[in-house]
Amino acid sequence: MLKARRQKKVMELIEQFEIETQEELVAVLRKDGYDITQATISRDIKELGLVKVPGGDKAYRYALPQEQRGGNYRLRLERLFRDSMISIDYSENLILVRTLPGTANAVASCLDHVAWKEVIGTVAGDDTILVIIKPKEAVGEILERFDSLLA
């Protein structure tokens, strides 16, 4: 999923560099091989919930809001789940999530970042995610959360 990869790259770039403008972000992404417009970056900034924070030399730079980080991942997880989830199955304390090809890593990364205490980890391939739950009695609750993501 190109959009998910691009947005992940945007988050990496704003944490690595002091990016002050949308035009600067477009230029850096183009150097990395992304054929992108300023309008697309504007939408990405809104969807990711980026904010301007004080940077060096009295300038402002883009950043992820610290207090909303979990919320942003939750919204992103909902969007990714709706757009890419194909099926879910489980056994004991393991949940297997099948996604569209190329989307499993993005979904698994969001699952890791929402930090549900019952999810002790994920392993993602191209179109399959193994979600490890502890304790196994929490599997039903996690399955309900997955269902709520699709609603």
For 80-98, the pLDDT digits (tens) are 899 999 999 999 999 999 9
- Give the start-to-end residue ranges of the domains of the chain: 2-64, 69-150
For 33-46, the pLDDT digits (tens) are 999 999 999 988 88
Sign of torsion over alpha carbons 79, 83, 84, 85: positive
- CA atoms of 24 and 68, how far apart (whole Å): 24
Instruction: Please say whether the beta carbons of 131 and 122 come within 8 A.
Output: yes
Confidence tier at 146 by pLDDT (50, 70, 90): very high
Q: In this model, does residue 79 exceed pLDDT 80?
A: yes
Confidence tier at 119 by pLDDT (50, 70, 90): very high
Q: CB-hemisphere CA count at 13 Å for 67?
A: 1
Fold: same for 2-64 and 69-150 = no
Question: What tokens were used for 7?
Answer: 């947005």
Q: DSSP class of residue 137?
A: G
Q: How far is CA 12 from CA 15, 18, 66, 94, in A?
A: 5, 11, 15, 30
| Mean pLDDT value across residues 5-13 | 87
Question: What tokens were used for 132?
Answer: 């490890």
For 14-70, the pLDDT digits (tens) are 888 889 999 999 999 999 899 999 999 998 888 888 888 887 777 888 887 664 444
CATH architecture of the domain with range 2-64: Orthogonal Bundle (1.10)
Which fold does the domain 69-150 belong to in CATH? Gyrase A; domain 2 (3.30.1360)
Instruction: Please say whether the beta carbons of 127 and 100 come within 8 A.
Output: yes
**Nearest 10 degrees: Cα torsion 82, 141, 144, 90:** 70
- Which has more pLDDT, 65 or 147? 147
